[in-house]
Structure formats: C-alpha cells, structure tokens
C-alpha cells in the first residue's frame, strides 16, 4: 500500500456522485491496492445531504478509503489534488436559454479553475463532467494557467459507450467485442458518433462495423440519432438524467488516464484541439480519438475522413466555437 491518491468529486451530494463515489472507493478506478482520500465538494445548502453520503461511505467499510472530507470551501476542496472530477454544474432549468446556462457555469468554472491553479498539484488531472462540459472544461483550463492544458479533459466516454453498446445490440455481441468507435466534437446533440474505423469481433474474427452490419442507412441515420439523443431519452423515461451510466463512463475515463488504454484500442475524450491533424480549429475543447500511456494522451493520427464525416465534424466544431465565444465574453465580466 503506497501513498493515498487524493481525489476530489464536486457536486458530491448529487445523483451522479452517488453512483460514482462507491465505485471509486471500492477500487474500480485506481486499483484494488491503492489507498484513497476522497474530498467531496458541494454548495452550502447541500451540506446536510452530503453528511448522509459520508455516513454511507463509512458504512460501506471499505479498506482503501483512508479519509473522507466533505466541504463547501474551495480552498479545502482543491488542496494538493491528484485528480479533480468536476461533476457539479448549474443544471438547465425549464425555460432557460442556453446562454443563461453558459453564464452561470462560466462563473463556477472560472472560480474552480482559479482554485485548481492556486491549491492543487501542478500534475493534477482534471475531468469535467458538468454541462456544457466541453466549454466548462475550456474555461477551467483558461482560469488555471499554471496547469498544463493537456491535463484537462471532458467526458464524452458516456457517448462513446452508448455508441459501442448500440452496435453490440444490433449485432447480438457483447460491448467488449466492439472497439474503436469515435465521438467527435461537442458533448451535445451535434456530436458525431463515427464507426468508420470501428471493429467488431465476430466469431473470433475482427471485422469492420460497416461490413458487419451491412446497413449503411441505419449507421448514417438512426444509429447516429440514437446516440446523439440518448440523454434526452433517458430523462424522458426516468424523469431524471443519466446517473448510473454517467458514473460508469467517468470511471472508464479516469481509469484509462491512470493506467493507459489497451494495445490496439483508442477511446474518445474531450481534449484541447491544439496540434490536431483533423482540421479542427485550435483552442477548442473537442472530443477526439486518443490513446493514453504514462498518464499522457495522444491523438490517434492518420484516420481517413470521408465527406460525410467531414461535414459532421465541422458542424460540431462550429457549435463549440460559438459556445466558446459567448463564454469568453462572460469570462471577462465574471
């Protein structure tokens, strides 16, 4: 047993965190022999609820959990962090314009970025989950100039897992038999789930997804729409947003940062676009296919992009550029 890893989860009294904290604390993310200190941040009105979460974590009697620190203070929450998982954000209320949502979140993520800059380790890995995740992540990074941009990523692994699972369901295989799907762009309904480079294991043989499914109109139509709109479909059915699946995706994302991606496989995550070879403008937080080794991600290079993909990749980049422009305006006044 080495030194404990210090992990912050924000929005810690919320739905996603309720599924996430148990998985982290029992060793699903950092390994079965890695001790942990969990720091739980939420807003002051949620402190009583958070106390209940702390009680439950204690009652799980987990061997890896060295300490649990509930707080509503940024200077406590962000101190000496190894990993920050920023789940908390201002949710969209009925009748709220996207612009209002952006404004409220710019304030939150500017403040948290500044706290990371001031209190966290410079090697901290920051994962943004709270929506609009890509732009929130960019704002946090811009507010933490002393932490490398590459240390910031946002969650598109849920979309990635959704795409993987839709293909698996269609072919009657397990999700593990499908690899190298890609989510390009924004974690919004403009995201582009791309299976042109994906492979599926059919009876021990690796086959391209287009070849395996033999239904191009489904792959270019309903498949894409299903993945793009899955979040809304879950809300419609459950009257609550995805929590179990979001927590699982966060675990996958962080575990891959920590331990690296398996040989021959790549994953999707929102990262800074600087230096990409896919014609995505610089200084956007955009979801790309990446491989990870030694806690460092690299773009997957050299994938051929057809016209259908190009159009969809540009569309989601345009949305991100517009979001960024609005957010940066608010940033100067926040």
Task: List, by residue number, the catalytic residues.
Answer: 187
How many beta carbons lie within 10 A of that of residue 207, not counting itself? 15
Q: Binding site annotation covers 276? A: no
Query: Three-state secondary structure along 21-64?
Result: HHHHHCCCCCCCCCCEEEEEECCHHHHHHHHHHHHHHHHCCCCC
Say whether 302 sits in a helix, a strand or coil.
coil
14-28: b or e for each residue (b if 16 or more CB lie within 10 Å)? bbbbbbbbbbbbebb
**DSSP per-residue codes, 153-182:** EE--HHHHHHHHHHHHHHHTS-GGGEE--E
Q: Binding site annotation covers 162? A: yes
Say whether 241 sits in a helix, a strand or coil.
coil
| Residue 58 contacts residue 86 (beta carbons within 8 Å) | no
Left (φ > 0), alpha (ψ -120 to 50) or beta: where does 206 sit? beta
CB proximity list for 105: less than 8 A, separation 6 or greater: 89, 90, 130, 131, 132, 135, 136, 139
| Residue 271 contacts residue 285 (beta carbons within 8 Å) | yes
Q: Binding site annotation covers 130? A: yes
Q: Binding site annotation covers 33? A: no
Q: Binding site annotation covers 255? A: no
Q: Binding site annotation covers 186? A: no
Left (φ > 0), alpha (ψ -120 to 50) or beta: where does 264 sit? left
Q: Binding site annotation covers 238? A: no
| Residue 60 contacts residue 71 (beta carbons within 8 Å) | no
| Half-sphere exposure in the Cβ direction for 224 (13 Å, CA) | 21
Say whether 186 sits in a helix, a strand or coil.
coil
Sign, Cα dihedral of 320, 323, 329, 332: negative
| Binding region for NAD(+) | 42, 105, 129-131
| Binding region for substrate | 92, 98, 131, 162
| Binding region | 42, 92, 98, 105, 129-131, 162
């Amino acid at each position: 047993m080495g030194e404990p890893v210090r992990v912050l989860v924000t929005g810690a009294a919320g739905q996603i965190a309720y599924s996430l904290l148990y998985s982290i604390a029992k060793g699903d993310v950092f390994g079965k022999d890695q001790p942990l200190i969990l720091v739980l941040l939420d807003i002051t009105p949620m402190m009583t609820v958070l106390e209940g979460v702390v009680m439950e974590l204690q009652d799980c009697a987990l061997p890896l959990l060295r300490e649990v620190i509930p707080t509503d203070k940024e200077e406590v929450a962000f101190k000496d962090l190894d990993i920050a998982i920023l789940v908390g954000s201002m949710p969209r209320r009925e009748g709220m314009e996207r612009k209002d949502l952006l404004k409220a979140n710019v304030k939150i993520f500017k403040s948290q970025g500044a706290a990371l800059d001031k209190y966290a380790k410079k090697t901290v890995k920051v994962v943004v989950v709270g929506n609009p995740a890509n732009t929130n992540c960019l704002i946090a990074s811009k507010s933490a100039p002393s932490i490398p941009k590459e240390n910031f990523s946002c969650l598109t692994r849920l979309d990635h897992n959704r795409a993987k699972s839709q293909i698996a369901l269609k072919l009657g295989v397990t999700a593990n038999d499908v690899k190298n799907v890609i989510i390009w762009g924004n974690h919004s309904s403009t995201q582009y789930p791309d299976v042109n480079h994906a492979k599926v294991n059919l009876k021990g043989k690796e086959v391209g997804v287009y070849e395996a499914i033999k239904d191009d109109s489904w792959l270019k139509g309903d498949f894409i729409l299903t993945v793009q709109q899955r979040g809304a479909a879950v809300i419609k059915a459950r009257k609550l947003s995805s929590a179990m699946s979001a927590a699982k995706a966060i675990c996958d994302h962080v575990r891959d940062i920590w331990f690296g991606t398996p040989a021959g496989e790549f994953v999707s995550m929102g990262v800074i676009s600087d230096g990409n070879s896919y014609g995505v403008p610089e200084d956007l937080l955009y979801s790309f296919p990446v491989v990870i080794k030694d806690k460092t991600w690299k773009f997957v290079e050299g994938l051929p992009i057809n016209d259908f993909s190009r159009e969809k990749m540009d569309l989601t980049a345009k949305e991100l550029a517009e979001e960024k422009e609005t957010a940066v305006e608010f940033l100067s006044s926040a």
